Amino acid sequence: MLILSKVSKTYANHQVLASTDLRVLAHETVVLIGPSGCGKSTMLRLINGLIQPDSGSISFEGTLLTTDNILQIRQRMGYVIQEGGLFPHLTVRDNVIVMARYLRRDAVWIDSRLDDLVQLVKLPHELMSRYPAEISGGQRQRVSLMRALMLDPDLLLLDEPLGALDPMIRYELQLELKNIFDQLGKTVVMVTHDIAEAAFFGHTIVLMQEGRIVQTGSFNDLAKTPSEPFVEKFISAQRQPMAQLAKGLQ
Ligand code: ADP
């Protein structure tokens, strides 16, 4: 579904993405993980054409992304940015349908799509007339997901979609999100910095460090056959505090 071939990006002499190859198969969930600043969000922005690579190419469902076709192709990609990115001056409903309206989709279609999505993300209908500041963080993330799904995209790009939530809400939403992905059969590229979340969602985990992919594989591949010491270090750095905490509680 998605092929990045020798894609690189540099900002003012700072290479944020070295020459990178990545393949994403239809219906799989690929999780980009790595320390802050390693280039995860940059990769998502390159995929949906918000920024252009300095070299290399990106193709989506067999079509090479260009500045001429990106607006069209972007409509087939749902994107949830960090913190949700809802427009504060628009109601929840208007946030969700903003693109559909811009594209002059039929009003009956919009209403029926909205109904389906409200059910899918399990939000009460009366919330639709509120503003983002009048709903909880977890609800805002559900609304962001509704907005990303509105045009029924083939690909979902999620940048730390659960990052700002407290642990209980996060856990609940993780389960629901996974259900939604399975139910809809979407292809998903998700960014997280949490290895447990990566293992939970990712058919494929892409571990990055300083603008390059260090290892690609299942969580088991990374845990059992790390390609270099950094992989082991990254996984155990997140696991050890939990294990120590659990030990201390025994
Ligand atoms: P991550 O998502 O892994 O935390 P990012 O992809 O956001 O990392 O950023 C990777 C690096 O690129 C960081 O060092 C960041 O400061 C830099 N960067 C990102 N966007 C820009 C920009 N528009 N201009 C200059 N540097 C940028």
Over the stretch 49-59, which tens digit does the pLDDT of each residue have? 999 999 999 99
Contact yes or no for 162/170 (Cβ under 8 A): yes
Mean pLDDT of 116-142: 92
Domain ranges of the chain: 1-76+155-168+183-250, 85-152
Average pLDDT of the chain? 91
Amino acid at 143: V
pLDDT value at residue 244: 63
Look up residue 142 and give its two tokens.
Answer: 């559900």
DSSP 183-220: HHT-EEEEE-S-HHHHHHH-SEEEEEETTEEEEEE-HH
How many angstroms separate the alpha carbon of residue 209 from the centre of ligand 1? 12
Ligand 1 contact via 241 beta carbon (within 6 Å): no
Probe residue for ligand 1, chosen from 11, 50, 213 as the CB with the greatest number of ligand atoms within 8 Å: 11
Give, using CA atoms, the residue closest to atom 22 of ligand 1. 11
CATH 3.40.50.300 given to domain 1-76+155-168+183-250: yes
Look up residue 35 and give its two tokens.
Answer: 């320390």
Ligand 1 contact via 39 beta carbon (within 6 Å): yes
In percent, how much of the chain has pLDDT > 90? 74
pLDDT value at residue 153: 93
